[in-house]
Amino acid sequence: MVKPAPLHLPRILCLHGGGVNGSIFQSQTRMLTARLSRHFRFIFVEAPFLCDPDPAIIPIYGDEGPFRRWLRWLPEHPMLDLETISADIRRSLVSAMDEDDEEAGGYGPWVGLLGFSQGAKIAASMLYTQQLLRETLGEEEAAATFQFAVVMAGRAPLVVMDTRLEPPFGVVDLSHSSPEFIGVPEGLAKEGPHLLQAPTIHVHGMKDPALHYHRMMIERYCAPNTARLLEWEGGHRLPIKTEDVEPVTSEIIDLARELGIIQDDEDE
């Protein structure tokens, strides 16, 4: 039995990919979270929209539905208006955070986001939307809740997740479907308002068929010197072997130390 992490630890919000759910993601990340359990607590969110399971997970998790998604990527997924999508995603995120606040008494600050695939896009986009809210509506509209994101196989571009904000050129809103999220528009500059300024850690599988699009996220949507890249010899899945997990957890710990989230005298 895994011992629960102490309640005072800083918290990381975890966002699953499309066609799975929070419980499955908790299992998929078990090696990573176990290595970090003395430094963080991990809270897993359920995406708001139902869908069929990702074919890749059926052999192991096919009976563990319902399966969920953050974004529309297939023709059979219902088209919804921007306000509905934004409200439903926000409700999922806030509900998970509020529920943990109630159960844990609010201990431990929210410091980071960790996502895979669709969840990685949402994680990076949450940081980006937080940035835009501060810049356009002021500090009170976007308290600096999350300090960093771990973006595992997340493809470009970023998504604005607040209906009060107008997406800059190169960024989209939540009403776009995933097939339209492919590629960088012609003429997108290497500097400008589309760049995420907060620190991110990107994890890329070198055998992932969408690797090109994951590289676009770090190369065209992250400000210089803010993003760290880790590559491993895998496909579109999460690393589970110690030799693949260890570099990721070490990078997270190093970044957290630099941000003052983990103190230098804490044990690893």
Residue 9 CA, chain-centre distance (Å), reads 20
Catalytic residues: 117, 208, 236
Distance CA 215, CA 77 (A): 27
Give 91-109 as a DSSP string. Answer: HHHHHHHHHHHHHHTT-S-
Distance CA 199, CA 124 (A): 10
- Distant-in-sequence, close-in-space partners of 132: CB < 8 Å, separation ≥ 6: 142, 160, 162, 165, 193
- Distant-in-sequence, close-in-space partners of 176: CB < 8 Å, separation ≥ 6: 159
Please work out, in degrees rounded to the nearest 5, the angle formed at the alpha carbon of residue 92 by the alpha carbons of 71 and 240: 70
Residue 248, token pair as written in the block: 């990721």
Give yes or no for a contact between 209 and 232, defined as CB atoms under 8 angstroms apart: no
Distance CA 131, CA 128 (A): 5
